Structure 1
């Protein structure tokens, strides 16, 4: 065990080595740092099996890191780094959970957050989506890297009950993203993929793999998701949810039918309340 710990420590020392600013694309350089953070968490995993598995998962990156950082097709290099990051997180699930809880700090993509905050949000997103892989869904043409999507569009907010809600983009289009919701309880040390109530025959029904489509924001009862119908005009649908257990319960559905560029008010919208 001491030898395994020594090998992991040596690998981490190598990952901490300097990289010239002009050597790596920002997304690739950020993923390199995230691999180091995941590996450090795995080194501290309580189970020897996880530590050994993470060390084996890290080995390919230590061999190819310099080539990937040096240059070439960005999408290919990001894909390689993402694969290695997920491999380390998969090998040590307890470390992935710890990483998600530690990295999931409040962040709102609609505001300027800074590179460090965005990097932390991306790490939380990688950890959560590795712990809870999404079922296959049709994907639009990719116009940004996975890291750019996670760093630029992950929303994390503090809920009234002390937990945090992470809304992680699975895919982003012209108007908004399709998101997977997660509930994190730092005090209890747990993370969960949240079920979402959707409307079936006009009544809310909880679905374990349902997604949130739109722009998230915190609200008094929990979270609101605004799904715009057009890029301009301000028309669309706003869904309000409250987190109960591991389910996002539907509170209301508000529709603004007129694409007139005017604010959402009681006079310009129609609201249906479910709770």
Structure 2
């Protein structure tokens, strides 16, 4: 019997990221996607031309209608009011939070008040936070850390808000041929996950990874196993995209 995963986030009209990418990923992992749309956007690989937040009451109604699920993945939240609606209506299931703060083209996708609400309310419900390095710095700055704070200090501040684990994605850092993600847990253990750095950029990689981890957690997988499974799926997507380059 298929497990179900609740995917909360925005609709990217080009299909490169957001809930459409989440649904494709969950389906590829034999999970049944259920959704709660937080915003409707018009965007391409180059730009975001419009963002329309869904009223918070409608977001809450979607979450309630989705019913019981094996895991939850959250992406774009758009506004502080939507963050509150999501936090107050989450089902009792492991939560993977991909902190979508801006589009690849630089358009803000969560307002400043929303970032503060995410830090103060949503992190304590989070089993795994999956920031890239720019997102990690922005979130840590929201907790009062200076711009130059190192990665462990940033992670410690976020975990101090109640988050169970943080997976820092290495795709935005360095030019080495190897890409390393690092998992930090409340026990103090740091687990590296390494793989090749591909000579191409793809939109929606964060959505893909987080939704794949959530789908794996929904089956009862250990967190490290879920991350390894999700990374393998992501690497296969990159290999397919780079064929012929």
TM-score tier by shorter-chain length is: under 0.3
RCO (CA 8 Å, sep 6+): is it higher in 1 or 2?
2
Greater fraction strand: 1
Q: Normalising to structure 1: TM-score of the pair?
A: 0.24
Q: Normalising to structure 2: TM-score of the pair?
A: 0.26
